[in-house]
Structure 1
Amino acid sequence: VSQTVLKHGAGSCPVGRVPAGEIEAAVIDQLRALFRQPEIVAGTWKAVRTHTDDITETDTHAALLQLDPLWEELFPAEQARIAALLVERVDIGTDGLNVRIRVDGFGGLAREMLAGGIEAAA
């Protein structure tokens, strides 16, 4: 529900109502695209390296790429947990959808993927 609608009542938001399923699908599409971006892979690898030295950038890239095809196999609760780990905030305006990402969440996610924790939730 729009914060503007909550504060000022129905009709006060120029965007109107947007179905939650559409928002969720758009956010998930953006996350899945991020898993393939080289700058995200490099940043994730740097975050993972602060915890362990034996993981390469290639390992990190492979772990993030694994998540995309695995996504549909995950239980909804696990999908929600991963989304909460990676998404700080979602704003919708007349200019579109703005998803704020928790970059630090990618490091934890990659460590889980490399340890095999995510596959167990599928």
Structure 2
Amino acid sequence: MAGTWKAARAHADDITEADARTALQQLDPLWDELFPAEQARIVALLVERVDISTDGLNVRLRVDGLSGLAREMLAGGIEAAA
């Protein structure tokens, strides 16, 4: 995640790497409780492109989406659909 965070830093002066890590750790146990539409929205925020080839899988993340998700998670904006 460190390489991704270096790229994201230009988009997120107010979110630290520790903030992003904390937000993603909070998302893991919550994931199965979210509605599919909310799961899709989060994936769209985080993933720019996925390339599959015979050599493997390449996932390009949206660095601005990572900081935005971290900001939203820390503010309590994503809640379980219980």
TM-score tier, shorter chain, comes to 0.7 to 0.9
SS of equivalent residue, structure 2 residue 58: strand
Deviation digits for residues 59-79 of structure 1, max 9, x if unmatched?
443222101111111111011
Matched, 1:72 2:35: no
Residue 40 (structure 1) shift: 6.5
Unaligned runs of 5+ in 2: none
Contact 1:64–1:110 (CA under 8 A) maintained in structure 2: yes
Contact 1:82–1:109 (CA under 8 A) maintained in structure 2: yes
SS of equivalent residue, structure 1 residue 105: helix
What does residue 45 of structure 2 align with?
85
Q: How many residues align?
A: 81
| Length-normalised TM-score, structure 1 | 0.53
Work out the percentage of aligned pairs sharing the same amino acid.
Answer: 70
Q: In 2 relative to 1, CA 111–100 (structure 1 residues): closer, same or farther, beyond 3 Å?
A: same
Q: Distance in 1 between matches of 2:78 and 2:3?
A: 19
Q: Distance in 2 between matches of 1:97 and 1:70?
A: 26
What does residue 112 of structure 1 align with?
72
Contact 2:47–2:62 (CA under 8 A) maintained in structure 1: yes
Q: Which amino acid aligns with 1:99?
A: V
Q: Distance in 2 between matches of 1:43 and 1:116?
A: 25
Unaligned runs of 5+ in 1: 1-36
Structure whose alpha-carbon radius of gyration is higher: 1
SS of equivalent residue, structure 1 residue 119: coil
**Structure with more relative contact order (C-alpha pairs < 8 Å, separation 6 or more):** 2
